[in-house]
Amino acid sequence: MKGKLHGIIFSYEKRSGLRELTEARMPASVPFGGRYRLVDFILSSMVNAGITDVGVVLQGNYQSLLDHLGSGKDWDLSRKHGGLRLLPAFADDEIVGGVREFRGKMEALAGVRSYLEGIRQKHVVLADSDLIINIPLQDVYQAHIASGADITAVCTSNVDSDADVTFFRLDDAGRVKETLFPLRDRTGCHRSLEIYVLSKELLLKLVDDCMSHDLTSFRSAVLQAQAPSLHIQGYVWDGYAAQIRSVKEYYERSLELLDPSIRREVFPAGRPIHTKERNDASTYVDPAGVCCNCLVADGCTIEGTVENSILFRGVSVAKGAEVKDCILMQDTAVSRDAVLRHVIADKDVVVKEACTLMGTANYPMSIAKGSKV
Amino acid sequence: MKKECIAMLLAGGQGSRLYVLTSNVAKPAVPFGGKYRIIDFPLSNCTNSGIDTVGVLTQYKPLELNSYIGSGQPWDLDRLNGGVHILPPYMREGDKGTWFKGTANAIYQNIGFVDMYDPEYVVILSGDHIYKMNYDKMLEAHKAAGAACTISVLEVPWDEASRFGIMAVDGENNIVEFQEKPKQPKSNLASMGIYIFTWQKLRQALIADEADPNSSNDFGKNIIPNFLAAGEKMIAYRFDGYWKDVGTLESLWDANMDMLSRGDLDLLEDSWPIYARLSSDPPAYIGKTSLVEHSVVTQGCEITGTVKNSVLSHGARVEDGAEVHYSVLMPGVTVKRGAVVRYAILGENCQVEAGAVVGGDPESCDPEEWGITVLGPNSTIAAGEVVKPKTMLNSEHQEVSR
């Protein structure tokens, strides 16, 4: 497996459904699970499968993602040859002149065509950055080789999703017959997890074809238009997978991690999720502190009561404060006697003394980064 | 390549008073405080003090220590010029090379290394102390006094002074006498085992010391008294922060408890960070049935039992109905259902099976019989087994006496 597969991650898609969470960052760098960013999951899956070269396509407000990924050393991707490459793709704009942001995956790939030519591996795996998954990609690669397919598309039989997602209709042999979106009647369909394996050669050909025909979308120009001529094989993954595309989904998928069976799937032994390191001491729980059914990262100080919640690194909950069903991101400080229910507090939020903040389970209150409330 | 000041860290000692905890690792590699190892403290102090070149002298069971230090990246000591260097004893022409005979001999054997950087000053550190200290301030004092040697000292209670190397000083902090563990101490200023030397002075002294067949080639026994006898200018640098020698099981346990109370040793306070090589564990999970009180928990912990007054390192698990009190659980320890651990240090990856009892409260037995219970790394305690207070077991489950 080593040295046969190249990773490309798309980190550009705008998801207005994530509201305040994406005010100052792209979905890829939205904090998740107590100490991670969304992109860590697919990136770690790639690294754990022995992938040594990964390109991350950037668009939009990527400063936070750059800061997170750095040189790639925390994923062991800071290498002399290969390793992590950041790809700020732009498209040529013939009408107004100069460059503009690209409109779809194929246009983004065309924007980094010289990078694609330089790929050392024979095969490429394309993936989105907003997927919570811990998948052994080497198995997907083996299945791709074994089936002789042109493209292998990872999908799940769980079709439950409110967001704009892609569905496949597979035949008995698992081959993708139809690619559909949006779709009301999803009976017998599979939901795409937006992970695709194909050869570098085919990828370059598809990029060139799309550009010649002024087509930009991988979904319509490749999956739909080329289905008759290309062998697109489904790879059904029924392990844990969550596409984070709305605040509600973010909230529910986050709190789901309190379930030990889900934690075992997301954090299995031997396939660690790597993230940017931060030096924090261990978390301290005071004699006055109560902590029950919580995921707690390092560097927290708990003097109040915390239940059914996720605490990122460096969070403090002062005496008398009550935090229930909440997600508190890095360095959030909850002052004395504050009461929080169903709240998502972004980084560096300060909740002042005796303040009460109430969201509801199906509409959690989301507080923007750095707010003082 | 010239550096003004470099550090030499003595990390080769066996740490025999930590018994089973150092049966397979050098003392500086012993885990501390949830996510650290002892050596993180001097290495982080160096980085925070602006010292970017550190030689680590290893000799006893160095494998784990070497791989822990690696390139030095966690401490920002992976440098183009300088950085951290592991210095084991090595073969040389003529005398064929020897093991380090003593602390001074360890530096003597690496004069070549120090000379590569041609420093004005050398800081000598050891790998068995827990403290946060700015060596740069000590260096300023050394330079201001024009000293040949500066020794960092700590005021200790008079009744404890006889356990330390004591420095008697005059009104200007000039050291006038050195007493090693004196019955009648002349001062209560204890040496912290941290020295700054003007390198050319130390270099000469090391060569002279090596030529003396009766010398034990030790800083405390030979080099410091020789400097005094030769009338070199030696000053005491008073340090008033937290400092603890964790060379014994009791002091290692104490220092862990000190960290919990967050008084003088507050590791959550981040103006002087202590760096460590980190694990990729997910956040700690504290369950519905758990009770955690006055304790620290670290990434990778899974707690559904009761944890009070304890330090849990990464990957420690305390299952339903299990209880951990006043104990230090090193990385990867599992305490299964209904087991009870009191006043104990459990080495890495220990397994305490269901219903076992390890250690006990001081009130639970005759004070003479009581002590901290210690399990060596990878020990397994069978279901229902009772390990009495003060017992120490190695990884083969054999009792080891102190």
pLDDT digits (tens, 9 = 90+) for A275-302: 999 999 999 999 999 999 999 999 999 9
Decide if A295 and B287 are in contact by the 8 Å CB cutoff: no
Question: For residue B157, is it left (φ>0), alpha (ψ between -120 and 50) or beta?
Answer: beta
Q: What is the pLDDT of residue A47?
A: 97
Please choose, from the candidates A155, A162, A123, A142, the residue with its C-alpha nearest in 3D space to the C-alpha of residue A244: A162
B35 close contact with A: CB closer than 8 A = yes
In a mutational test of the B interface, the residue from A298, A301, A306, A307 whose CB has the highest number of chain B CBs within 10 Å is A298
Given a cut of 70, whether residue A353 has pLDDT beyond it is yes
- How many CA atoms within 13 Å lie on the side-chain side of B349? 4
Query: Chain A: nearest CA to B352, how far in angstroms?
Result: 21
Residue B369: both structure tokens together? 């019989």
Range from A144-158, A185-199, B85-99, B324-338 carrying the lowest mean pLDDT:
B85-99
Say how far apart CA B393 and CA B335 lie, in whole Å: 16
Find out whether A220 and A264 touch, Cβ atoms under 8 Å: no
pLDDT band at B322; cut points 50, 70, 90: very high
pLDDT digits (tens, 9 = 90+) for B151-186: 999 999 999 999 899 999 999 999 999 998 899 999
Chain A residues whose C-beta sits inside 8 Å of any chain B C-beta: 33-35, 73, 258, 260, 263, 266-267, 272-275, 277, 279-287, 289, 291-299, 301, 310-311
Please give the backbone phi and psi of residue B47, each rounded to the nearest 5 degrees, phi first.
-60, -45
Contacts with A310 from chain B: Cβ below 8 Å:
283
Query: Chain A: nearest CA to B280, how far in angstroms?
Result: 6
Q: What angle do CA B15, B21, B27 make, to 5 degrees?
A: 35
pLDDT digits (tens, 9 = 90+) for B240-298: 999 999 999 999 999 999 999 888 899 988 899 999 999 899 999 999 999 999 999 99
Range from A90-104, B116-130, B266-280, B327-341 carrying the lowest mean pLDDT:
A90-104
Q: What is the pLDDT of residue A162?
A: 74
Say how far apart CA A306 and CA A334 lie, in whole Å: 11
Say how far apart CA A332 and CA A315 lie, in whole Å: 5
pLDDT band at A92; cut points 50, 70, 90: low
Q: What is the mean pLDDT of chain B?
A: 95
Q: What is the pLDDT of residue B263?
A: 82
pTM, two decimal places? 0.93
Say how far apart CA A200 and CA A119 lie, in whole Å: 8
Q: Which helix (H) or strand (E) is B345 found in, with range?
A: strand B344-346
Who wins on pLDDT, A15 or A333?
A333
B332 close contact with A: CB closer than 8 A = no
Decide if B282 and A33 are in contact by the 8 Å CB cutoff: yes
Q: What is the pLDDT of residue A98?
A: 57
Say how far apart CA B45 and CA B134 lie, in whole Å: 6
Say how far apart CA B219 and CA B217 lie, in whole Å: 7
DSSP letter, residue A142: H
For residue A266, what is the nearest residue in chain B, using CA coordinates? B282
Q: H helices within B38-193, ranges in order?
A: 40-48, 63-69, 103-108, 111-117, 135-145
Contacts with A292 from chain B: Cβ below 8 Å:
286-288, 290
B48 close contact with A: CB closer than 8 A = no
Decide if B283 and A281 are in contact by the 8 Å CB cutoff: no
B268 close contact with A: CB closer than 8 A = yes
Query: Chain A: nearest CA to B172, how far in angstroms?
Result: 38
Given a cut of 70, whether residue B110 has pLDDT beyond it is yes
Query: Chain B: nearest CA to A78, how far in angstroms?
Result: 13
Task: Measure CB to CB from residue A273 to each of B33, B274, B280 and give the nearest one.
Answer: B280
Contacts with B312 from chain A: Cβ below 8 Å:
282
Query: Chain A: nearest CA to B330, how far in angstroms?
Result: 13
Share of chain A above pLDDT 70, in %: 95
Please give the backbone phi and psi of residue A203, each rounded to the nearest 5 degrees, phi first.
-60, -45
ipTM of the complex: 0.91
Given a cut of 90, whether residue A19 has pLDDT beyond it is no
Task: Give the neighbor-by-neighbor strand order of the sheet with B340-342.
Answer: B291-293, B306-308, B323-325, B340-342, B357-358, B386-387
Given a cut of 80, whether residue B100 has pLDDT beyond it is yes
pLDDT, average across residues A9-15: 78
β-strand A31-32 against A5-10: which pairing, if any? unpaired
User: What b/e string do you get for A177-208 counting C-beta neighbours within 10 Å, with b at 16 or more?
Assistant: eebbeebeeeeebbbbbbbbbbebeebbebbe
Q: Which helix (H) or strand (E) is B175 found in, with range?
A: strand B175-180
Reported for A172-181, long-range contacts at CB under 8 A and 24+ positions apart, including other chains, are: A174/A233, A174/A234, A174/A235, A174/A236, A175/A149, A175/A231, A175/A232, A175/A233, A175/A234, A176/A223, A176/A227, A176/A232, A176/A233, A176/A234, A177/A227, A178/A227, A179/A219, A179/A223, A179/A224, A179/A227, A181/A219
Residue B154: both structure tokens together? 């700590």
Given a cut of 80, whether residue A366 has pLDDT beyond it is yes
**Based on C-alpha coordinates, what's the Rg of chain A?**
21
Task: Measure CB to CB from residue A282 to each of B34, B273, B286 and give the nearest one.
Answer: B34
Q: What is the pLDDT of residue A1?
A: 59
Which residues make beta-bridge pairs with B387? Answer: B358
pLDDT band at A97; cut points 50, 70, 90: low
Please choose, from the candidates B362, B348, B392, the residue with its C-alpha nearest in 3D space to the C-alpha of residue B64: B348
Say how far apart CA A96 and CA A99 lie, in whole Å: 8
Q: What is the pLDDT of residue B50?
A: 97
- How many CA atoms within 13 Å lie on the side-chain side of B314? 20
Query: How many CB atoms within 10 Å of residue B93?
Result: 6
Range from A90-94, A153-157, A243-247, A340-344 carrying the lowest mean pLDDT:
A90-94
Q: What is the pLDDT of residue A94?
A: 58
Say how far apart CA B71 and CA A65 lie, in whole Å: 26
Q: H helices within A137-257, ranges in order?
A: 137-147, 200-212, 218, 247-256
pLDDT, average across residues A69-73: 95
pLDDT, average across residues B90-105: 85
Q: What is the pLDDT of residue A23?
A: 84
Decide if B283 and A297 are in contact by the 8 Å CB cutoff: yes
Q: What is the pLDDT of residue B13?
A: 82
Task: Measure CB to CB from residue A295 to each of B33, B285, B295 and give the nearest one.
Answer: B285
- How many CA atoms within 13 Å lie on the side-chain side of A250? 34
Q: What is the pLDDT of residue B91?
A: 86
Find out whether B266 and B242 touch, Cβ atoms under 8 Å: no
Q: What is the residue whose two structure tokens read 């790597």?
A: A274
The CA-atom distances, in angstroms, between B7 and each of A103, B78, B144, B199, B367 are: 55, 15, 19, 11, 43
Task: Measure CB to CB from residue B296 to each of A33, A284, A295 and give the nearest one.
Answer: A284
Decide if A272 and B280 are in contact by the 8 Å CB cutoff: yes
Say how far apart CA A147 and CA B339 lie, in whole Å: 52
Residue B352: both structure tokens together? 């305490």
User: Which residues 6+ apart lie within 8 Å of B96 measured at CB?
Assistant: none
pLDDT digits (tens, 9 = 90+) for A175-218: 999 999 888 889 999 999 999 999 999 999 999 999 999 999 99
Query: Chain B: nearest CA to A177, how far in angstroms?
Result: 39
pLDDT, average across residues A109-134: 95
Find out whether A156 and A236 touch, Cβ atoms under 8 Å: yes
pLDDT band at B94; cut points 50, 70, 90: confident
Query: Chain A: nearest CA to B386, how far in angstroms?
Result: 29
pLDDT digits (tens, 9 = 90+) for A215-262: 999 999 999 999 889 999 999 999 999 999 889 999 999 999 999 999
